[in-house]
Amino acid sequence: MSVGEILSGVAGDGHRRPNPFAGGGLDRATHLRADRRWLDDRLSDPTSRVVPVWRERSLVSQTAGEVAAKADGLAYEPVLLPPAVAAPASEPPEEWIFLGLEGGQAGGRALFAAEVPGHAEASGEAGEGPPSDSPPEGAGEFLDLRGVGAMLGQGEGSLLAYARAIVTWSGRHRFCGTCGAPTRPEQGGHVRRCRDETCGAEHFPRTDPAIIVLVTDGDRCLLGRKDIWPEGVYSTLAGFVEPGESLSEAVVREVREESGIEVGSVRYRSSQPWPFPASLMLGFRAERVGGELTVARQELVDARWFERADFARRREIGLRLPGRVSISRRLIEDWLAG
């Protein structure tokens, strides 16, 4: 059977139960990105809000409620700043990036994302600490989205992931990759154009597709482990899609390279934005059709087959699952539930 024949047409279930960082409901209002007058009005509108990002961290505060109940009493919510509060501590407003309209409504308040530079520490090194004049005292703290993503509401996590990804991209493209000249933002910050008129190259946000797959063989599944992960954590196999490669080909290649296992019946399950810095995780399930487990040590420190029964006694055997913020956890739990 050819690689092109093994990708199933079965639809995924991500639309019914979005993964963390997806399912936000924000109206991105792409038709307004080129309207400079409208954007300028929203930048001075006190009802608009700014999502600050500092060194790829998001501004959040602890909260209570439904999310906290699901997260053992600990939950967070984004801290959104009025333009007048954000402006003194952030980059110039012309560098702010228009995210969209809140609530998916044409009349919703406008949301922007802004990079917040650090302030000079006593050591004299700039940018090492959070900005001294933002956020207002007690408003929250800048935390890594990977650590708090599972403790945010669905729409809130999606908003912060969007802001983190687009701000990171913009910050890494301040200079033209074609000629090296400075760039300027256009289209509400979603395009950066070279300021050198003889070049004029346009640069667009990129998203890197990566497959992540749960390989099954009857009543067991294959999980791998990297040496940088906490002790006992095993996860599904994953890797970037290479140029000129289809998704099914990437699944087959990555599984073979990392484990020596041959797979077929590749079925798409769901996807997840992964803004670290700019990936889209495409989740699959695939069945073993051959090969013997041979761990690629340059990729993994270990890989094992786990029986369904192993998950019921995972504390006893020292098995830890990926965090709930990852699509890997969902791929495993969906298989166990099926």
Q: What's this model's pTM, rounded to 2 decimal places? A: 0.88
H helix intervals, 93-204 = 145-148, 154-171
pLDDT at 129: 59
**What is the Cα gyration radius of the chain?**
22
* 338 residues of the chain, pLDDT tens digit each: 344 434 444 445 555 689 999 988 899 999 999 999 999 999 999 999 999 999 999 999 998 766 554 555 689 999 999 998 888 877 788 999 999 999 766 678 999 999 987 533 333 344 455 654 445 555 789 999 999 999 999 999 999 999 999 999 999 999 999 999 999 999 999 999 999 999 999 999 999 999 999 999 999 999 999 999 999 999 999 999 999 999 999 999 999 999 999 999 999 999 999 999 999 999 999 999 999 999 999 999 999 999 999 999 999 999 999 999 999 999 999 999 98
Give residue 284's pLDDT: 99
Contact status, residue 338 vs residue 219, Cβ threshold 8 Å: no
pLDDT value for 327: 98
d(CA 280, CA 271): 7
Q: Which residues contact 159 (CB under 8 A, 6 or more apart)?
A: 24, 26, 51, 78, 99, 111
DSSP for residue 152: S
Check residue 109 and report its DSSP letter.
Answer: P
Backbone angles phi, psi at 105, to 5 degrees: -120, 145
Looking at residue 106, its pLDDT comes to 64
How many angstroms separate the first and last alpha carbons of the chain? 26
Supply the pLDDT for residue 163: 98
**pLDDT at 139 (0 to 100):** 72
Q: Is 140 left (phi over 0), alpha (psi -120 to 50) or beta?
A: left
> What domains appear along the chain, each with residue ranges and CATH number?
3-17+207-337 (3.90.79.10), 33-172 (no CATH)
